[in-house]
């Protein structure tokens, strides 16, 4: 169990960032939640500020489920990071909670599906997380192999797994163009979506900020 894990009866999740309404993190309009904490530390990761397990904000899963369920016009929840598998109890409870309200679930993990299945053999929370996931994008981000075309996937070694019947690979949304979104919230510019383009955009924005100082 990770140091950022929680009591079983009142699961919590350490959250780095929320976007309540995005078209760039999975099929349809989605609520996107980035968890805080990842020990995998892939070179070139676009969210290094989410590595530390002490940052972000510890939030009750019940509150997060209510927030997702009360967001209008969304198709589902995408869980990103940070590493959702390093907070399996909280992540599983959140995924199961929103799925019970009819929403779909998508998880981005740096672990491969084979690694997650091996963890699931000894950890019921990981089993529950897998059972509550419709779509999984798996594997470490490899900056030497940026993915040029497949939607929502950062590097060519990563795969999309359909873990339920909710989605199918022939859904036309899975082959449409990738997207990047830029928003200004609480005095901050946030960029999310296709990792390669989002990274380039973040670098350009940071360079612009430096030049304006």
Residues that contact ligand SF4, how many (by CB under 6 A): 12
For ligand SF4, the binding residue among 17, 47, 78, 192 (CB under 6 A) is 47
**Span interacting with ligand SF4, options 41-49, 58-66, 92-100, 126-134, rule CB under 6 A:** 41-49
> 13 vs 166, which CB is nearer to ligand SF4?
13
Bridge partners (DSSP) listed for residue 185: 188
Q: Closer CB to ligand SF4, residue 16 or residue 166?
A: 16
- Residue 183 to residue 189: CA distance in whole angstroms: 6
In this structure, the number of other CB atoms found within 10 A of the CB of residue 171 comes to 13
134, 95 Cβ separation under 8 angstroms: no
Query: With contact defined as beta carbons under 8 Å apart, do 38 and 79 qualify?
Result: no
Q: Does 110 bind ligand SF4 (CB under 6 A)?
A: yes
Site string for ligand SF4, 112-141 (x = CB under 6 A): ----------------------------xx
Question: Quick one: tokens of 9?
Answer: 């009866």
Separation CA 129–CA 103 (nearest Å): 15
The residue to which tokens 């780095």 are assigned: 16
Q: Residues of 195-213 as b/e, b for ≥16 C-beta within 10 angstroms? A: bbebbebbeeeeeeeeeee
- Minimum Å gap between C-beta 142 and ligand SF4 is 9
Site for ligand SF4 contains 41 (CB under 6 A): yes
Among 42, 67, 69, 163, binds ligand SF4 (CB under 6 A): 42
Our CB check for ligand SF4 shows the closer of 8 and 41 to be 41
| 59-88 residues near ligand SF4, rule: CB under 6 A | 81-83
Q: Is the dihedral angle over the CA atoms 129, 130, 136, 137 positive or is it negative?
A: positive
Residues 20-39 touching ligand SF4, rule: CB under 6 A, are 38
Chain contacts with ligand SF4 (rule: CB under 6 A) = 38, 40-42, 45, 47, 81-83, 110, 140-141
């Amino acid at each position: 169990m990770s140091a950022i894990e929680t009591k079983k009866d009142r699961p919590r999740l350490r959250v780095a960032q929320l976007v309540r309404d995005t078209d760039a993190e999975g099929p349809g309009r989605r609520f996107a939640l980035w968890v805080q904490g990842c020990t995998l530390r892939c070179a070139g990761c676009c969210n290094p500020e989410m590595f530390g397990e002490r940052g972000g904000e510890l939030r009750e899963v019940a509150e997060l489920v209510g927030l997702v369920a009360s967001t209008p016009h969304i198709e589902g929840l995408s869980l990103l990071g940070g590493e959702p598998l390093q907070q399996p109890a909280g992540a599983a409870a959140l995924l199961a909670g929103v799925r019970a309200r009819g929403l779909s679930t998508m998880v981005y993990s740096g672990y491969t599906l084979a690694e997650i299945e091996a963890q699931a053999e000894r950890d019921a929370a990981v089993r529950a997380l897998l059972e509550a996931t419709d779509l999984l994008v798996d594997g470490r981000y490899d900056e030497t192999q940026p993915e040029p075309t497949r939607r929502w996937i950062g590097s060519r070694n990563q795969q999309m797994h359909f873990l339920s019947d909710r989605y199918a690979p022939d859904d036309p949304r899975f082959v449409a163009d990738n997207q990047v979104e830029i928003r200004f919230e609480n005095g901050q510019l946030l960029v999310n979506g296709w990792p390669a383009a989002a990274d380039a955009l973040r670098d350009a924005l940071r360079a612009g900020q430096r030049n304006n100082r």
